[in-house]
A and B are shown apart, each in its own frame.
Chain A
């Protein structure tokens, strides 16, 4: 890892009990032969994820489980400390293909967008998730359009690339609950530009999603409520946190 990372990209991999998949993911990233740094954030795993990751890449071990929002924000904190220009979030469960990091970076550099989200629903190739989740994503997308004027096709996608100014904003304030759709709304509301780029997502290699069945309905209701609250209260969270 270089001392001055001003032009570099940091890959943030939040992990919770992903000992089976994290090694393979790191190997995949290394096989890209790109000048990217990897930071695995072990969110208080109990299955040896830290040991599996620490031998292969930089790994932060959180003393307690903070949830995906807290884990990702740890990565943004690191990116701010080490002056990274770009930071991309990739889930440690192996669902996101690292081969799409470069296309996302190209889109960001060409369009000068602040946030580029990898979406699985634009070209509908690869793992498409359950009907319930797709419907939920659609509803959240419409609410985001209604409140912030942009309709994300995959608001729950965890594969997202942020530039320096958004890294700094996320370092100050990043939602803990429902981080993916809410951080997207936070970015839109604070005037950051958002782009989408089609990516192919894979089915989980191990474990299962925490949002299934009836939980996905309550997840959707909670997000929609939070999106409305964020818009109605006109609370510019990043500025408040300062």
Chain B
């Protein structure tokens, strides 16, 4: 019982430190709230398993897993996989937006250069007739 309490305190303290770290990141704008919550699952999930041990045991029995920690790691892997998938999809959409931006920028630059060159030709013609 005492050992369990010590484990609980260790996980809780780690969770608080981690939460502090995440909050700092959120306030500085380098991490999105939703992303922070997703990352927090790495600690929240084991904490939940520790806090509600009997529920975890029941759940693993229902699913057919012998040890609750196998279920816990399975869930963590699933979350990690979902997070990775969401990140990849967001990366792809960002890539598409950057590509469109690069294309529009290049076309705009060409049009500007064309205008400048046209202007130069006109002004050189003008000075020639003036002379």
- B24 at the A interface (CB under 8 A): no
Q: What is the minimal beta-carbon distance from A13 to any residue of chain B, in angstroms?
A: 14
Task: Tell me the total A-B contact number using a CB cutoff of 8 A.
Answer: 34
B105 at the interface (CB under 8 A from A): yes
B104 at the interface (CB under 8 A from A): yes
* Cβ–Cβ < 8 Å partners of A58 in chain B: 110, 114
Q: In chain A between 27 and 83, which residues have their CB closer than 8 angstroms to a CB of chain B?
A: 58-64, 66, 70, 73-74, 77-78, 81
- Knowing A66-B99, A70-B99, A176-B99, the reply to whether A60 touches B104 (Cβ < 8 A) is no
Set B102, B104, B114: member contacting A66, Cβ < 8 A: B102
Which listed residue, B99, B102, B107, touches A78 by the CB 8 Å rule?
B107
Task: Look across to chain A and name the residue whose beta carbon is closest to the beta carbon of B104.
Answer: A77
- Listed in ascending order, the chain A residues whose CB lies under 8 Å from chain B are 58-64, 66, 70, 73-74, 77-78, 81, 176
- Apart from A70-B103, A73-B99, 12 more pairs, CB < 8 Å: A58-B110, A59-B110, A60-B106, A60-B107, A61-B106, A63-B102, A64-B102, A66-B99, A70-B102, A74-B106, A81-B107, A176-B99
B122 close to chain A: CB less than 8 A: no
A187 to B102 CA separation, bound complex (whole angstroms): 25
Q: What 3 A-B pairs come out closest when comparing CB atoms? A: A74-B103, A60-B106, A62-B106
Is B97 part of the contact surface with A, judged by Cβ < 8 Å?
no
